[in-house]
A and B are shown apart, each in its own frame.
Chain A
Amino acid sequence: MIVTRRHILKLLGGGAVGTIFSPIPWKLLRDSSVWTQNWSWLPVPQRGPVGSAYSACTLCPSGCGLKVRTIGGRPVLVNGISNTAWGKGGLCPAGTAIHQMPWHPGQLRSVKMRQADGRFMEAKLDVALAAVAAAIKGANGTVAILDGRPGRLISGAYREFLAGKGMIVQPPSVARSSMKVLRSLFKEDPGPLAIDVDQVKAVVSFAASVLENFGQPGLLQQSPKKIRTIQFEAIQSRTALKADQWVPIKPGTEREIALGLANLLLKKGYAANWDEEDRTALEKICAEWTPSKVFATSGVDEATLTSVANTMEIGSTVVVAGPDAVGGPLAIEAEASIQTLNLLLGSVGQAIKPVKIAADDPAFAAIDAVETKDLADVPAKSIEVLIIDMAMAGYALPWNLLADKLAPKALVVSLTPVLDDLAQHSQVVIPTALPFTTVQDIPGHPDFLRSVRMAQAFGAPADDALDPVDFLNRLGKILGINRDVTAADSLSELIEKQAEVLVNAKEGVVLQPKKDPADFDDIDEADELLKRFKRGACFVAAFGQIDTALKFSFDSLGKISDETKKHDFRMQLILTGGVERASLASRSPILSKVDQESGLNPFADGAHVNPETIANLALLPKKRWVVNTPEGSIRVQIRPDPTVPPGVILMSGAPNGPKPWDVANPVELASPGQKSWRIIPAVIKEA
């Protein structure tokens, strides 16, 4: 047979057709589908033994407990822990991704010092510490530590470090918390007060984010009994949306409404068993706030005010206000007027109780040995050295409020894991460990409970990250300052000390996930308590009895402290956004799902203004406008939004854009002259 071209063609053709009927295409299909999915540059999840561990969230004062799913020891998922008194297991979006924090792209990898030309340069730790020590030694003015989260063990160490020679400065959001202000209304200090949520049936809130997404989300919603909420607020926040009743108010009229309610409650005899003197004093202050005057000032009509007053029951209704994560606290007289309602409701002793603090608890060391002040009350230009520890604060703090208190050549040191907006203004930045890379003590939110949890380490901190206790030790060595109660080589040692103190004090209870609570009959050794901490336990201090006399002082309800100068800033800038806006630097990049890939941040796109207001001010639609405040300006786009109250400019109080440490931050518009930046006087002009 002669092989011709035809034969070859037949072979090839037949072969091609035959291949289609063979397994070859199936194999090719299977193989190609796999390798088109597994290119070399795609990450492959690593396998490993499955385990679980416990920790606590460090991103905000709530300190929610965490159950961590681990693969080969690496954290891959976190969930909240339920059935503990501290929250009902709800986790906010930031906490849901906290296990990714050890790989935060903004992690500081070295000490930074600002050079003469204003730029940050890498520096050696010794050099930085020497500079700080020299500044402290040579300081004529105040040496202060800004502690964003008192109640931690490091807070006690800060106080011991400064004892007798410095000042602890509290951010206004900490200094003017509801419970702090309530406490200050007593003639005799009843000690730290906290809300016992299990006793609460109704909450009357003045713009507090009680039903919000962050800071203990679900605390009220997941309560076994239904807790009724009434929200007095100028804007319709998410809490206002979810509350049983939202009462819209004119911005800045919380004090007047509270006094109006107090007036009605007094008339109902709620202060019948008070001291005559106290009752008369309060009646005098409230007398002018009749329902019609309240209506004229705040827009809350008589029927609404009366009906709210009628639902406020003695013993089980709690009134809260407290700082907004972005907008900060109310002025002291507003907060005090609101907390007076708790006194009238007899909440103190029932739904609000003192907490018992163990005598030698290192977290509370040297309380009386150091002056502690609200930042707003610090004299201007008096601080020469400021050490900032706001990394776990969970509240925004406008830089210019701080700047106003600094002496001309002040040295500012920031202890932080990422370059947040306060660190951007500092001279020295010392990196601390990111969450989940180091063991930490986590006290709970001071307004609700005195509690302690332990956060574990799931990976190593950056090489240059400094343990804050180590920072104080090294500084103390140079300056010759020794600490006593909080002497330790590291935070872990202090935690062990604290465990010892708690076990010896035998007060309080230890809540455990999926188990019954334990008390100190079961736990009689510090090591045992530490073991339980590592397994997700939460120490909760006992509530005490109210044993101080129920005698009050209403001086702080007095006249307005902020000077209302005459100015042309007739609109009111309100910054919104909650904790998620306050601490953008300390959230995992996966939060971009919420920030960038959804419309859930509606006020980040500009200044929202009611079209009525725009019409009144005869503003024509233009591309760029400027929001002017006494402190400065910010360029914005105007978004007509009929859901915003007339006269109000509503903006997100967060740095614009996906980078959390962008400098154009509306919070910086707060004026240092104002004690409260809830409402910033503003006006809109053409760019």
Chain B
Amino acid sequence: MSRAKEKPEGAPRYAMTIDLDKCTGCGACMVACAVENNVPPAQSGANDRNGTTLMRVYAMSNKQAYPHAKQVFVPMTCQQCEDPPCETVCPQNAVEYDWTTGIVAQIPVRCLGCRYCMVACPYHARAFNWWDPTWPEGMEATLNPDISTRSRGTAEKCNFCHHRRQLARERAAHEDREMREDEYQPACVEACPVGAITFGNLEDPNSAVSKGFAKPEAFAFVEKLGTEPKIRYLSSQKWVHDMARSGVPGKEATNG
């Protein structure tokens, strides 16, 4: 189900391209995301399965041996699907596709913490706050006032740093003009040291993102699920494209 038909006139649809040829797997995007969104450092006992990582970089290998082994690093975040599986399943309507931006919004104050949305999401984009957030003493001074801290018991996910869009639009409004597209960039896009992440408006055919989507080396993960994600990955390596089609490692994807 594509929502393009129902969106208001002139409204943007934000999307991302991530270049896997460039990504070095450094994790600067992960750190920048945590800093921007007031995500606390790992608690004792936290690991890669219960940590809050709204942006997370995975390593994907071609499963071959030395010296033919190859690897790419895949920054994975909420894919902002056009047909989000998490939206239909939330019992409290706490997840909503925002027609004015294309971002899948989460209402944290309404979230019950049932975690059904996390079961529904195939991209592991969602994290649950298993702990109350705590920072080392005094480090709360570095918290970003544009985002609240979340108590335990709610689910959360990337929302393309939507608060930055609010701020950019307010600033523009103060100056009596429209917000320019480049004034709104999520933290991860800014932080990537090699410029692997591009962000922009899919409704603008001249944006870098629109051009990226059209490239032959662009692909989405597990496209056959029909969620219509708005993140495209770029890779010049064929094995990466082949692997990305199937959700299960080790077996060639069927053509259905």
- Which A residues fall within an 8 A CB radius of B? 33-34, 36-39, 41-48, 71, 74-77, 79-80, 89-93, 96-97, 99-100, 102-105, 211-214, 217-218, 221-222, 236, 238, 241-242, 248, 459, 588-594, 596-600, 602, 610, 642-646, 658
Q: Check A103–B137 contact: CB distance below 8 A.
A: yes
Q: Check B137–A590 contact: CB distance below 8 A.
A: no
Further pairs besides A42-B133, A600-B27, A642-B66: 5, Cβ < 8 Å: A100-B139, A213-B193, A236-B67, A593-B51, A600-B25
For B194, the chain A residues whose CB sits under 8 A away are 90, 217-218, 221-222
- From B25, B51, B67, B137, A213 is in contact (CB under 8 Å) with B25
B4 at the interface (CB under 8 A from A): no
Q: Check B46–A597 contact: CB distance below 8 A.
A: yes
For A76, the chain B residues whose CB sits under 8 A away are 35, 142-145
Chain A: CB-nearest residue to B136: A105
Q: Check A602–B137 contact: CB distance below 8 A.
A: no
17 residue pairs from A and B, CB less than 8 Å apart: A34-B109, A37-B109, A76-B145, A77-B144, A80-B193, A90-B194, A97-B35, A102-B138, A103-B142, A211-B24, A222-B195, A241-B24, A592-B41, A597-B51, A598-B30, A598-B58, A600-B59
A217-B26, A600-B27 known; A592 vs B67 contact (CB < 8 Å): no
Chain A: CB-nearest residue to B113: A36
Q: Check A43–B191 contact: CB distance below 8 A.
A: no
Q: Check B191–A91 contact: CB distance below 8 A.
A: yes
- From A75, A77, A100, A602, B36 is in contact (CB under 8 Å) with A77
Chain A: CB-nearest residue to B42: A592
Report B25-68 CB contacts with A as 1/0, cut-off 8 Å.
Answer: 11110111011101101100011100111001111010011110
For B139, the chain A residues whose CB sits under 8 A away are 100, 103, 589
Q: Check A45–B31 contact: CB distance below 8 A.
A: no
Q: Check A46–B145 contact: CB distance below 8 A.
A: yes
Separation of A47 and B147 alpha carbons in the complex (Å): 11
A45-B143, A212-B24, A591-B31 known; A39 vs B51 contact (CB < 8 Å): no
For B36, the chain A residues whose CB sits under 8 A away are 77
A45-B140, A74-B141, A596-B51 known; A241 vs B42 contact (CB < 8 Å): no
B207 at the interface (CB under 8 A from A): no
Q: Check A248–B143 contact: CB distance below 8 A.
A: no
B132 at the interface (CB under 8 A from A): yes
Separation of A222 and B193 alpha carbons in the complex (Å): 8
Q: Check B28–A93 contact: CB distance below 8 A.
A: yes
Separation of A184 and B51 alpha carbons in the complex (Å): 50
For B133, the chain A residues whose CB sits under 8 A away are 42-43
Please give the distance in Å from A326's CB to the nearest CB on chain B.
16
Report B148-178 CB contacts with A as 1/0, cut-off 8 Å.
Answer: 1111001000000000000000000000000
Within 8 A of A (CB), among B125-139: 132-139
Q: Check A97–B31 contact: CB distance below 8 A.
A: yes
Please give the distance in Å from B6's CB to the nearest CB on chain A.
27
Q: Check A43–B140 contact: CB distance below 8 A.
A: yes
Q: Check B193–A643 contact: CB distance below 8 A.
A: no
Separation of A608 and B45 alpha carbons in the complex (Å): 24
Separation of A213 and B192 alpha carbons in the complex (Å): 10
- From B57, B66, B136, A598 is in contact (CB under 8 Å) with B57
Separation of A99 and B135 alpha carbons in the complex (Å): 14
Please give the distance in Å from B41's CB to the nearest CB on chain A.
4
For A97, the chain B residues whose CB sits under 8 A away are 31, 35
- From A44, A597, A658, B53 is in contact (CB under 8 Å) with A597
B108 at the interface (CB under 8 A from A): yes
Q: Check A645–B42 contact: CB distance below 8 A.
A: no
| Candidate in B27, B140, B142, B147 with the most chain A CB atoms within 10 angstroms | B142
Q: Check A646–B58 contact: CB distance below 8 A.
A: no
A77-B144, A643-B69 known; A597 vs B48 contact (CB < 8 Å): yes
Q: Check B42–A96 contact: CB distance below 8 A.
A: no
For B46, the chain A residues whose CB sits under 8 A away are 592, 596-597
- From B66, B108, B144, A610 is in contact (CB under 8 Å) with B66
Number of residue pairs A-B, CB distance < 8 angstroms: 212
Within 8 A of A (CB), among B49-96: 51-53, 56-59, 61, 64-67, 69-73
Q: Check A99–B193 contact: CB distance below 8 A.
A: no
Q: Check A39–B151 contact: CB distance below 8 A.
A: yes
Q: Check A91–B193 contact: CB distance below 8 A.
A: yes
For B41, the chain A residues whose CB sits under 8 A away are 588-590, 592-593
B252 at the interface (CB under 8 A from A): no
For A602, the chain B residues whose CB sits under 8 A away are 59
Q: Check B136–A217 contact: CB distance below 8 A.
A: no
Separation of A577 and B101 alpha carbons in the complex (Å): 40
Separation of A588 and B147 alpha carbons in the complex (Å): 20
- Which B residues fall within an 8 A CB radius of A? 21-22, 24-28, 30-32, 34-36, 38-39, 41-42, 46-48, 51-53, 56-59, 61, 64-67, 69-73, 108-110, 132-145, 147-151, 154, 187, 190-195
A45-B38, A77-B144, A92-B193 known; A213 vs B151 contact (CB < 8 Å): no
Q: Which 6 A-B pairs have the closest CB atoms?
A: A90-B193, A597-B51, A213-B26, A217-B193, A592-B42, A45-B143
Q: Check B108–A37 contact: CB distance below 8 A.
A: yes
Q: Check B145–A214 contact: CB distance below 8 A.
A: no
Q: Check B110–A33 contact: CB distance below 8 A.
A: yes
Please give the distance in Å from A81's CB to the nearest CB on chain B.
12
Q: Check B145–A33 contact: CB distance below 8 A.
A: no
Q: Check A593–B30 contact: CB distance below 8 A.
A: yes
Q: Check A42–B57 contact: CB distance below 8 A.
A: no
Q: Check B25–A238 contact: CB distance below 8 A.
A: yes
A213-B26, A248-B66 known; A71 vs B35 contact (CB < 8 Å): no
Please give the distance in Å from A220's CB to the nearest CB on chain B.
9
A99-B142, A212-B24, A593-B30 known; A598 vs B193 contact (CB < 8 Å): no
Separation of A597 and B46 alpha carbons in the complex (Å): 7
For A221, the chain B residues whose CB sits under 8 A away are 22, 193-195
Chain B: CB-nearest residue to A589: B41
- From B32, B52, B71, B140, A241 is in contact (CB under 8 Å) with B71
Please give the distance in Å from B14's CB to the nearest CB on chain A.
20
Chain A: CB-nearest residue to B135: A43
Separation of A568 and B32 alpha carbons in the complex (Å): 47
Separation of A96 and B189 alpha carbons in the complex (Å): 13
For A590, the chain B residues whose CB sits under 8 A away are 31, 34-35, 39, 41
A43-B135, A91-B28 known; A36 vs B145 contact (CB < 8 Å): no
Q: Check A43–B136 contact: CB distance below 8 A.
A: no
Chain A: CB-nearest residue to B141: A74
Please give the distance in Å from B124's CB to the nearest CB on chain A.
11
Please give the distance in Å from A261's CB to the nearest CB on chain B.
20
Q: Check A218–B195 contact: CB distance below 8 A.
A: yes
Separation of A218 and B23 alpha carbons in the complex (Å): 10
For B140, the chain A residues whose CB sits under 8 A away are 43, 45-46
Separation of A34 and B111 alpha carbons in the complex (Å): 11
Q: Check A93–B24 contact: CB distance below 8 A.
A: no
Please give the distance in Å from A40's CB to the nearest CB on chain B.
11
For A71, the chain B residues whose CB sits under 8 A away are 144-145
Separation of A192 and B119 alpha carbons in the complex (Å): 59
For A102, the chain B residues whose CB sits under 8 A away are 138
Separation of A212 and B25 alpha carbons in the complex (Å): 9
